[in-house]
Structure 1
């Protein structure tokens, strides 16, 4: 069990004060607070595309995108489900428990980073056909964000601290890296500086959160404790890992079977990911808002949350479908063009991604249905993976995108059915579940 932190610690008191106030912050203001983080990341992400293409070329940029997608898979292993369950875990824990949850999670994630990085480097070398600097530095840089703990501040409803401690260092690292790449035409400079920014964010988070522990308290590393803690996350990481493997499959398959089309699909995938990035603050807000006023309001708020998710998905999907051709031309200087035949199915896929994300992470996990979120991810992979592989063997990017849309539709329908059955049976926890702490 977690041990109590000192109530006299001034930083802890400031956290408590803000945490007590957050339920009274207006609905829109809180979404906008989380949006500041995502908005800045999105702007920098958009800026990075033309700068990198102009500095190192479309092919190197596309290879870098493949490594980023691969990092999404191995990052799930490093994060090990805390991105999904962490916000609810922190929201449901006492203020005294929270820093212990963070400390033990960080210890586990650093262990997983050391295990995952070498394997990712080997696979990156195969996919990039032996590009050592890109594979090694790309792995080091793009796995570091999964060691960071933005979920801790989401669970605390602390968008300001998330922005200052996590977002700003990462964004500064990316911007300085882009400047270095522009001046040197070296992707190595970009990755080194970007990795430094991510590392600074991790160190700042650690210093701030662990400052609330009693003076002189030191953690002792125990592999046995790490393994026991990882066991409590098995359902969350299963769903996240299967989902991540499936999400990365289209671009990795294109890289393997249709390498000449990698820049086109990489651009379409990147624009699709910007939509997912825009969804993040809405999801983060709803994860805290649904349980905020207690069990009596959860059922009604789950329904409203899903409606919000689907509405957001419709708007975002329409933008992805309609504006990807123009956006790709502008961002690449005409070097990479995404056709409507590719952007339309990806826009439809985003509608279902938005609905399933809210139903799963804001509702089902809260209701103790983590297993069904994992099952939904497995169903998506079972439906989509064979279709994606067949489509890639036919050299059709459009069929790959339609395969993605179909599988996301299956996930959404399954999760909505489970959510409806759960609410109908009245299976609502009497209080937020207490986190398991090794």
Structure 2
């Protein structure tokens, strides 16, 4: 963030912000995988073991990189296709959404150990409890952003760059979708060993989201960009739901988990 701030100040080019975030995300994943791969290895450096560990976690690592990259792009995309006023309105809503989304991270982390680690007895019930909790949080977040998003941005950022009501509503939809796909991905699909579905949903959602933000942002401004962001997250949910349905059909009468 510090490097991005310095580059922005020196050049005024907003594209340095997502570039720095992408570099930080990729670097963090590589360093983490490298260090984890060395745990338990021989005193002499075992490159083969490290690379094997990193390759085994490739789906999870690529998911983190793709999600981090995608999350850094919305404001930059809007900056390329929309006038400054629309970008400012979009950015105000985006800042409020980022603050609100911490609640999703907190709830997801709270359920992580209880649901996903050590395959405890009754894991199916725990998965359902996680999905229910995230669904309730998503609906509350949607209502909060849809009803209070525009007034709060007026209060926090001023009338000139405050988000429109429609932009806030679409960010509420995004919040709800992210809350639910967080639970389906982290607490259901990953414990089931289906990291490939999580990766596919993330990449598919990113592609749809980027295209939708660019097209709708160009035509409708800040509300169009917010709608495009919501479309991307809804696609993530749909791909994950489709994956779960396929898994259930393959399992037939056999439970997915003990």
Aligned to 1:105: 36
Task: Give the paired residue count.
Answer: 245
Larger Rg: 1
Distance in 1, matches of 2:129 and 2:14, equals 35
Q: Which moved more, 1:371-380 or 1:70-79?
A: 70-79
Deviations 1:178-205 (A, max 9, x none): xxxxxxxxxxxxxxxxxxxxxxxxxxxx
Aligned to 1:76: 25
> Equivalent of 2:185, from 347, 360, 363?
360
Aligned to 1:127: none
- The 1:103/1:246 distance shift into structure 2, 3 A limit, reads closer
- The 1:293/1:253 distance shift into structure 2, 3 A limit, reads closer
Superposition TM-score, scaled by structure 2 size = 0.79
Distance in 2, matches of 1:382 and 1:319, equals 28
Paired residues of 2:141 and 2:172 also in contact (CA < 8 A) = yes
> Equivalent of 1:402, from 206, 227, 234?
227
Unaligned runs of 5+ in 1: 1-58, 83-100, 108-209, 431-438
1:247 is the counterpart of 2:71: yes
> Equivalent of 2:115, from 280, 290, 300?
290
Aligned to 2:56: 232
Unaligned runs of 5+ in 2: 1-7
- The 1:288/1:420 distance shift into structure 2, 3 A limit, reads farther
Deviations 1:104-154 (A, max 9, x none): 2398xxxxxxxxxxxxxxxxxxxxxxxxxxxxxxxxxxxxxxxxxxxxxxx
Q: Which moved more, 1:318-327 or 1:258-267?
A: 258-267
Aligned to 2:125: 300
- The 1:230/1:303 distance shift into structure 2, 3 A limit, reads same
Aligned to 1:195: none
Paired residues of 1:65 and 1:266 also in contact (CA < 8 A) = no
Distance in 1, matches of 2:154 and 2:14, equals 17
Aligned to 1:411: 236
